């Protein structure tokens, strides 16, 4: 799913159905919405009343009566000031009332998107582009704020005022003034919409280039080490600059098209104002209306066209906001491929006995596992080994229900994991992954992530089991030491021990080790193995191993090849069979001997 896909819809279509999707998030404060609407109407009535006060003031000043010159003009001036202040203060009250509604809607919607993203399946997150996705969410929440602000505080009041003014002109001054106003407003709105649609392509191109540049920048920074390893700083800079160049070209065209939009709007306003003033001046000269009427008409036309002057901008931004909000709702429309059954149990397994019963799984057209069956008895250590691509890591993904099996079943304590909620299932399993990624926080906080409500004593006990205590005590800031983004300040062995401590702290009956020592040197491996043995005591352990030396103490070893179990037994029995396991063992044993020699030379 591409981050800029929403820019590719029909240019001329406004997605008003987004308001229906947004409505549930806006009705939490129904009373506030009603009060804000009342304030809007009162403020607009006050705004329409101002030209009438101005008209009467001018007509009064045009009268030379001494009494009127002293009393009435002063009262009208005060009334003008009061009504103008009332108009402003009611508008502020309206903004304050509706601001709370908008802010709460943005909060609820942002949280809903965040929670939904965590519910989506692994495929979505493997395909996503983090930079583009974060920008989509940011644009969506900003779009809600913009849409509410301009729809409620600009478009609706302006349409209300246009209706009132045309009615006033028609009943007070005849059809000519009303028709000039109506035709000019229609021409202005029509031109603004057509011109904005024309230049929307440039806006879309700029936004697409912006998303591309943002995605490339974040991807490059997240892979900082890889960029450095291959000396590709210049290559990354060129790719980023190419995206920025596309953005620059689109923005230049956007700016030139804005000149055409504003110029056309100004021409329509000038023609309309000239026609109205000429007709009003003609009637003043022929004493068909007063100077005050002339001022009133001028004031109304200025009041109408000042907000309309922003119509092109507002229309474009509302259109963009609707598209951005729709894009965010499109994210929420993604349905997880793995969902809980309606009758799923929320009771988490407590014993931890695992069974794979004729499990088959294929990813797309590629068959990964074929009728795999084995048991992991409670409290035992079972290892899964095999050559590359045999399906070892897939077993863990299926156990965690990142994917559902195509046929067969996986059970824990005799219950099909599809009959458990995902939350209940995953509470029963703690994982030490091959690639430990830590949060940019302290060591203790990364360990605490295994169980956020854990006490300090429980965290320290977990660090002892993970053989991490001596390392933490050697640090100046102890457990409060920051690990850096993704744990880059720690070595591979140190990160693995943090992962072990985190898994132990979770307190789950099942411990899964996903090639937890595959990337370590032999010295670090021995330290981690000792930690793993201590951590696994009293737990059901499923170990996916690349290095066979780490699982020689397993109660049972399952050997996979091309998605099928080809051998199983203990370490010694498998060596005696002289099969695939024995071949893998001899290959690794020879490699280990070479590595030991290399380490000795290095020392």
For β-strands 381-386 and 556-561, DSSP reports them as parallel
DSSP 515: S
Q: Which residue has the tokens 């990142």?
A: 402
- 9 in a domain, yes or no? no
In a domain, 529, yes or no: no
- Domain assignment present for 532: no
What is the sign of the dihedral through the CA atoms of 403, 409, 410 and 415?
positive
Residue 270 sits in the same domain as residue 355: no
What's the pLDDT score for residue 132? 62
CB–CB of 83/109 below 8 Å? no
pLDDT tens digits, one per residue of 520-569: 556 666 666 777 777 777 788 898 888 788 888 889 999 998 889 999 99
Question: Beta-carbon neighbour count of residue 90 at 10 Å?
Answer: 20
489 within a domain of the structure (yes/no): yes
Read off the pLDDT of residues 433-463 as tens digits, 9 standing for 90 and up. Answer: 877 778 888 888 888 988 888 888 888 888 8
Q: What is the pLDDT of residues 178-209, one digit of tens each?
A: 899 899 889 988 888 888 778 777 777 777 77
Is-contact 145 26, C-beta < 8 A?
no
491 vs 529, higher pLDDT: 491
Judge if 126 and 251 occupy the same domain.
yes
Name the residue among 300, 303, 309 with its Cα closest to residue 168. 300
SS (H, E, C) 316-384: HHHHHHHHHHHHHHHHHHCCCCCCCCCCCECCCCCCCCEEEEEEEEEECCEEEEEEEEEEECCCCEEEE
CATH of the domain at 43: 1.20.1560.10
**270 with 224, same domain?**
yes
Residues 378 and 450 in one domain: no
Those residues with Cβ within 8 angstroms of residue 203's Cβ, 6 or more apart along the chain or in another chain: 250, 254, 316, 320
DSSP characters over 8-58: GS-TT---THHHHHHGGGTGGGHHHHHHHHHHHHHHHHHHHHHHHHHHHHH
Contact status, residue 572 vs residue 580, Cβ threshold 8 Å = no
Distance CA(554)–CA(196), nearest Å, equals: 69
Confidence of residue 7 (pLDDT cuts 50, 70, 90): very low
3-state secondary structure of 187: helix
Average pLDDT over residues 572-579: 90
Confirm whether 55 is domain-assigned: yes
Task: For Cα atoms 314, 318, 320, give the angle at the middle one, nearest 5 degrees.
Answer: 120
Cα distance between residue 40 and residue 134, in whole Å: 35
Q: Are residues 187 and 222 in the same domain?
A: yes
Q: Are residues 301 and 190 in the same domain?
A: yes
One domain for residues 249 and 189: yes
Task: Please give the Cα distance from 248 to 271 (Å, whole number).
Answer: 35
In DSSP notation, 50-79 reads HHHHHHHHHHHHTS--HHHHHTHHHHHHHH
Last residue of a domain, one of 333, 360, 390: 333
Q: Does 435 lie in the same domain as 329?
A: no
Structural domain contains residue 482: yes
Contacts of residues 87-95 at CB distance under 8 Å and 24 or more positions apart, as own/partner, are 87/43, 87/46, 87/47, 87/50, 90/39, 90/42, 90/43, 90/46, 91/39, 91/43, 91/153, 93/39, 94/36, 94/39, 94/40, 94/43, 94/153, 95/153
CATH number at residue 579: 3.40.50.300
The span from the CA of 531 to the CA of 380, in Å, is 17
Residue with more model confidence, 3 or 149: 149
Q: What is the pLDDT of residue 357?
A: 94
Given a cut of 90, whether residue 374 has pLDDT beyond it is yes
Q: Quick one: 97 and 201 in the same domain? A: yes
Indicate the number of domains in the chain: 3
Q: How far is 252 from 203, CA to CA, in rounded Å?
A: 10
Instruction: Say what the alpha-carbon torsion angle 56, 62, 63, 66 is, to the nearest 10 degrees.
Output: 100
- 370 sits in the region (left: phi over 0; alpha: psi -120 to 50; else beta) called beta
* Secondary element (H or E) of residue 234: helix 233-285
Asked whether residue 155 falls in the same domain as residue 184, the answer is: yes
Kindly report the backbone phi and psi dihedral angles of residue 184, in degrees, each rounded to the nearest multiple of 5, phi listed first: -65, -40
Q: What angle do CA 487, 488, 492 make, to 5 degrees?
A: 80
Counting residues of the chain whose pLDDT is more than 90, the rounded percentage is 11
Give the residue numbers spanning the domain of 494. Answer: 429-507
Assess if residue 527 is contained within a domain. no
In a domain, 302, yes or no: yes
- Of 333, 356, 390, the last residue of a domain is 333
Instruction: Supply 79's token pair.
Output: 């009334």
How high is the pLDDT of residue 384?
A: 92
On whether the CB atoms of residues 477 and 533 are closer than 8 A, the answer is no
**In a 3-state reduction of DSSP, which class is residue 527?**
helix
Would you list the DSSP string of 400-460? TTSS--SEEEEEETTEEGGGB-HHHHHHTEEEE-SS----SSBHHHHHHTTSTT--HHHHH
Residue 477 and residue 448 share a domain? yes
Contacts of 240 (CB under 8 A, 6+ apart): 213, 216, 217, 220
What is each CA distance from 68 to 74, 292, 438, in whole angstroms? 9, 15, 81
Mean pLDDT of the chain: 79
Residues 298 and 110: beta-carbon distance below 8 Å: no
pLDDT in tens, 48-81: 777 777 777 776 776 655 444 455 556 666 766 7
SS (H, E, C) 545-588: CCCHHHCCCCCEEEEEECCEEEEEECHHHHHHHCCHHHHHHHHH
Percent of the chain residues topping a pLDDT of 70:
86
The more confident residue out of 547 and 573 is 573
Indicate whether 498 and 553 sit together in one domain: no
CA dist 155 and 128 (Å) reads: 36
Encode pLDDT of 323-369 as tens digits. 778 777 877 777 777 788 888 888 888 888 999 999 999 887 888 89
Q: Which of 507, 531, 552 is the last residue of a domain?
A: 507
């Amino acid at each position: 799913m591409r981050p800029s896909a929403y820019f590719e819809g029909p240019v001329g279509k406004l997605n008003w159905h987004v308001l229906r999707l947004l409505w549930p998030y806006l009705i939490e404060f129904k009373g506030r919405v009603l009060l804000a609407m009342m304030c809007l109407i009162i403020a607009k009535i006050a705004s329409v009343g101002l030209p009438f006060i101005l008209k009467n003031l001018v007509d009064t000043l045009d009268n030379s009566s001494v009494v009127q010159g002293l009393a009435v003009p002063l009262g009208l001036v005060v009334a003008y000031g009061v009504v103008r202040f009332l108009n402003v203060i009611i508008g502020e009250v309206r903004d304050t009332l509706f601001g709370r509604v908008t802010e709460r809607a943005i909060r609820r919607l942002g949280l809903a998107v965040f929670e939904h993203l965590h519910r989506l399946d692994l495929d979505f997150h493997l395909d996503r582009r983090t930079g583009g996705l974060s920008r989509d969410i940011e644009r969506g929440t900003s779009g809600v704020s913009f849409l509410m602000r301009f729809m409620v505080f600009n478009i609706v009041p302006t349409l209300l005022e246009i209706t009132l003014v045309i009615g006033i002109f028609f009943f007070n001054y005849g059809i000519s003034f009303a028709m000039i106003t109506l035709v000019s407003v229609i021409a202005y709105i029509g031109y603004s919409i057509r011109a904005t649609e024309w230049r929307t392509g440039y806006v879309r191109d700029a936004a697409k280039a912006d998303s591309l540049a943002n995605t490339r920048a974040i991807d490059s920074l997240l892979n900082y080490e890889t960029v450095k390893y291959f000396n590709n700083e210049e290559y990354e800079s060129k790719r980023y600059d190419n995206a920025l160049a596309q953005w620059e070209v689109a923005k230049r065209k956007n700016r030139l098209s804005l000149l055409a939009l504003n110029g056309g709007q100004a021409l329509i306003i000038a023609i309309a104002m000239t026609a109205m003033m000429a007709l009003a001046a003609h009637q003043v000269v022929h004493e068909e209306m007063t100077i005050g009427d002339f001022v009133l008409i001028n004031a109304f036309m200025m009041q109408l066209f000042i907000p309309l002057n922003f119509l092109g901008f507002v229309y474009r931004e509302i259109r963009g906001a609707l598209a951005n909000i729709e894009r965010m709702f499109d994210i929420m429309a993604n349905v997880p491929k793995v969902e809980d059954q309606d009758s799923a149990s929320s009771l988490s397994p407590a014993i931890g006995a695992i069974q794979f019963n004729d499990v088959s799984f294929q990813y797309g057209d590629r068959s990964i596992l074929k009728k795999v069956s084995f048991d992991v008895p409670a409290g035992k250590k079972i290892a899964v080994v095999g050559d590359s691509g045999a399906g070892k890591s897939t077993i863990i993904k299926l156990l965690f229900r990142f994917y559902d099996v195509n046929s067969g079943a996986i059970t824990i304590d005799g219950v099909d994991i599809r009959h458990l909620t995902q939350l209940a299932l995953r509470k029963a399993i703690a994982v030490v992954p091959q690639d430990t990624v830590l949060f940019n926080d302290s060591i203790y906080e990364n360990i605490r992530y295994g169980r956020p409500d854990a006490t300090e004593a429980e965290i320290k006990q977990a660090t002892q089991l993970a053989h991490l205590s001596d390392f933490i005590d050697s640090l100046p800031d102890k457990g409060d030491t920051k690990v850096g983004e993704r744990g880059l300040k720690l070595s591979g062995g140190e990160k693995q021990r943090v992962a072990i401590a985190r898994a132990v702290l979770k307190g789950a009956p099942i411990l899964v080790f996903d090639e937890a020592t595959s990337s370590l040197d032999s010295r670090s491996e021995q330290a981690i193995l000792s930690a793993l043995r201590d951590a696994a005591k009293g737990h059901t352990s499923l170990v996916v191993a690349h290095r066979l030396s780490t699982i020689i103490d397993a109660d049972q070893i399952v050997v996979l090849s091309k998605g099928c179990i080809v051998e199983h037994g203990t370490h010694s029995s498998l060596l005696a069979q002289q099969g695939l396991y024995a071949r893998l063992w001899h290959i690794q044993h020879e490699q280990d001997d070479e590595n030991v020699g290399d380490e000795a030379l290095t020392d």
